[in-house]
């Protein structure tokens, strides 16, 4: 589906009823990343996936960094009449989730941080973002997909599920160039969210694949230590996109977490 906020198109899906969960995808994905979660949780949930600005069916806007992604998410919740939601972000979507918390915390029922980290880019990582911007501008999204696909999934997925690797590669190669360029700025300039961790006082689930090489388990443990009362789940046999590599385990963990919310 497509809606318009501030005159800009936002692509989204909205399936089911129950506790609203808004899913924010990683880089350079689209809301299709969350297909295994959409309407598929054991707990009654309203599963909402959106394309971040410049990806999928969402139009690019003024480059707004991770704050822009967070504000678009809040605007979509407005359109859908959702006052408070569980915000679930994977990797870049996790960086946007931290921004959402800083900017719209009254709207957060709980947080789910998947295969992401609190820390900002190192100098070397910032340099790499600039190089990737040159790459995508000169050679297109396929070149980015080619460069990123190996690290995107875990060893187990590479060995046992080549069809999924192809599907992810296709999703990444379809990402619009402008969306990628703007996202690389958002990634490069995102603030360090480490000081944010201690401010989080809502139930928080942290998930990470044990084969994630982009945001490894030690980053998840650091967030777990920093967020009081948070729950950490390490998903075996998954890499950086644990929700799609191990959907049954991921959905089980997420459903249990949602049940624990309704019990509170």
Nearer to ligand MLT, 75 or 120 (CB): 120
Indicate the residue among 60 and 216 with the shorter CB distance to ligand MLT.
216
Q: Which of 30, 47, 58, 91 binds ligand MLT (CB under 6 A)?
A: 91
CB under 8 Å to 159, separation ≥6 — which residues?
A: none
Three-class HEC string of 113-144: EECCCCCCCCHHHHHHHHHHHHHHHHHCHHHH
92 binds ligand MLT (CB under 6 A): yes
Identify which of residues 14 and 219 has a Cβ nearer to ligand MLT in the complex. 219
Contact mark string toward ligand MLT, 121..150, x via CB under 6 A = ------------------------------
Work out whether 101 is an interface residue with ligand MLT (CB under 6 A): no
Q: How far is the CB of 220 from ligand MLT (least distance, A)?
A: 14
Number of residues that bind ligand MLT (CB under 6 A): 7
Residue 122 or 264 with smaller CB distance to ligand MLT: 122
The interface mask with ligand MLT, positions 160-199, x = CB under 6 A, is ---------------------------x------------
Q: Cα 159 from chain centroid?
A: 24
Tokens of 51: 């394309």
CB closer to ligand MLT out of 87 and 187: 187
Among positions 4-63, residues that touch ligand MLT (CB under 6 A) are 26-27
CB of 106: closest distance to ligand MLT in angstroms?
26
Q: Which is nearer to ligand MLT, 88 or 92 (CB)?
A: 92
Cis bond before residue 28 (omega within 30° of 0): yes
Please report whether residue 242 would count as binding ligand MLT according to CB under 6 A: no
Q: Do the beta carbons of residue 66 and residue 190 sit within 8 Å?
A: yes
Closest to ligand MLT by CB, 84 vs 126, is 126
List of residues contacting ligand MLT (CB under 6 A)? 26-27, 91-92, 187, 214, 240
């Amino acid at each position: 589906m497509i809606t318009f906020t501030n005159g800009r198109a936002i692509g989204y899906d909205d399936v089911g009823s129950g506790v609203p969960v808004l899913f924010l995808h990683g880089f350079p994905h689209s809301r299709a990343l969350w297909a295994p979660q959409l309407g598929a949780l054991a707990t009654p949930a309203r599963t909402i996936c959106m394309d971040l600005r410049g990806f999928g069916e969402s139009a690019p806007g003024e480059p707004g960094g991770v704050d822009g992604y967070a504000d678009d998410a809040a605007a979509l919740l407005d359109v859908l009449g959702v006052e408070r939601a569980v915000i679930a972000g994977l990797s870049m979507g996790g960086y946007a989730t931290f921004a959402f918390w800083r900017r719209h915390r009254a709207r957060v029922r709980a947080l789910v941080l998947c295969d992401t980290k609190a820390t900002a880019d190192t100098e070397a990582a910032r340099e790499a973002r600039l190089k990737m911007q040159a790459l995508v501008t000169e050679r297109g999204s396929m070149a980015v997909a080619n460069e990123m696909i190996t690290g995107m999934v875990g060893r187990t997925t590479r060995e046992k599920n080549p069809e999924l690797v192809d599907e992810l590669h296709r999703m990444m190669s379809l990402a619009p160039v402008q969306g990628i360029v703007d996202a690389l700025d958002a990634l490069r300039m995102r603030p360090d969210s480490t000081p944010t961790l201690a401010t989080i006082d809502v139930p928080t689930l942290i998930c990470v694949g044990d084969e994630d090489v982009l945001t490894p388990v030690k980053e998840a443990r650091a967030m777990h230590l920093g967020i009081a009362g948070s729950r950490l789940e390490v998903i075996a046999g998954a890499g950086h996109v644990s929700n799609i590599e191990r959907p049954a385990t991921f959905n089980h963990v997420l459903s249990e977490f949602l049940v624990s919310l309704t019990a509170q």
